[in-house]
Every structure is written in structure tokens, then in C-alpha cells.
Amino acid sequence: MQQRYFGKYRGKVANNIDPQQIGRIQVQCPDVLGEGQMSWAMPSVPYAGSGVGFFMIPPVGANVWVEFEGGNPDYPIWGGCFWGVGEAPATPAVAEMKVIKTDIATITLNDLPGAGGVTIETTTGMKIALTVSGIEINDGQGASIKLSGPQTSINDGALEVV
């Protein structure tokens, strides 16, 4: 009888290009698979269905948690990631702020009472902010639109619509 492996094991993404395009990654999990061995791991995501779901694939080299369906090492599952020391992105100091960050874009969800909102920013300076005080759009090249109550300001007041 084959040995069973239950619980979570530390792994690393070796390849994140899934030919089946179903969110699988090739993982290295030396404690179970052996040193230098890889296996395709199915994703365990918070939301999935036909044509819908949460689809975020970790980059090559990322640390992932690996489990095994029924404890069988032939059926690995990746169920999340973790940071090594010094790898975490800059994070807000309060629990009411949630951040999704990639190499190019950041989405910030602010649940602070009276100041909440959603901000999408890119590394090129583009920004869309939806807050309790209004909506701001900036193209990162000097053009901007601000909507606040019944007023609209374009390019920092160059044109005001009331």
C-alpha cells in the first residue's frame, strides 16, 4: 500500500503555464515528491464554476502550500501561497485595508468607516479611485477627471462643470 500524506507541505512553483488552462501549476515539494521532482498540482480556489471563478496563478519561484487528495502523492493540490522573509508587499497598517498587488497593478479596498473606497493604480501612474468623497481618474500623463457631488473637474480645474 502506498504511503499517504495528509496536511500541508511547503512547495515551490516550478512552472505556471498550464497547457490545460485550468489553473494547475507544476510544484516542487521535496518532503513528499523528492528533491528535484515536479508534479502538476490542481488549484484549490475560493470560487469556481463553469465560466466563472477566482483565477490568480502564482509566479514561478513562489512559495505554495501543497496538499494531496486523499493523501495520495500522485494527486497534489496547491491551496495558497506564503511569503518568505522580506518578500511580502508593502501592506497597510490596519486590518480594514485589503490589497491585491501584482508587478504592474495594485487594487486597494478600504473599509475604514467614513473613508472607505476602492483604488486601482498602475506602476505607470494611472489611477482610478472610488471614495466617499467622489471619483477620481488619472491617466498618469497629466490628464485627470474628478467627480464630486454635482461637480466635475477636468485637468485640475482647467474645465469645471457644475
Tell me the three cell numbers of residue 50.
463553469
| Distant-in-sequence, close-in-space partners of 64: CB < 8 Å, separation ≥ 6 | 11, 12, 13, 25, 27, 41, 58, 78, 79, 80, 81, 82
Domains and CATH numbers, the chain: 9-82 (2.40.50.230), 97-161 (2.20.220.20)
| Distant-in-sequence, close-in-space partners of 4: CB < 8 Å, separation ≥ 6 | 68, 70, 71, 72
For Cα atoms 33, 37, 39, give the angle at the middle one, nearest 5 degrees: 75
Residue 156: pLDDT band with limits 50, 70, 90? confident
Residue 162: pLDDT band with limits 50, 70, 90? low
DSSP string, 26-85: EEE-HHHH-TT-EEEEEE--S-EETTEE---PPPTT-EEEEEEGGG-TTSEEEEEEEPPT
Q: What is the mean pLDDT of residues 76-92?
A: 90
Q: What is the mean pLDDT of residues 74-102?
A: 90
Rounded Cα gap, residues 26 and 132, in angstroms: 43
**Residues 102-147 pLDDT 10s:** 999 999 999 998 888 999 999 999 999 999 999 999 999 999 999 9
Tell me the three cell numbers of residue 142.
497629466
Task: Note the pTM of the prediction, 2 decimals.
Answer: 0.81
Q: Which of 104, 75, 108 is nearest to 93 (CA)?
A: 108
C-alpha dihedral (36, 40, 43, 49), degrees to nearest 10: 170
* pLDDT of 90 strictly over 90: no
Largest CA distance in the chain: 76
Does residue 89 sit in helix, strand or coil? coil
User: What pLDDT was estimated at residue 9?
Assistant: 98
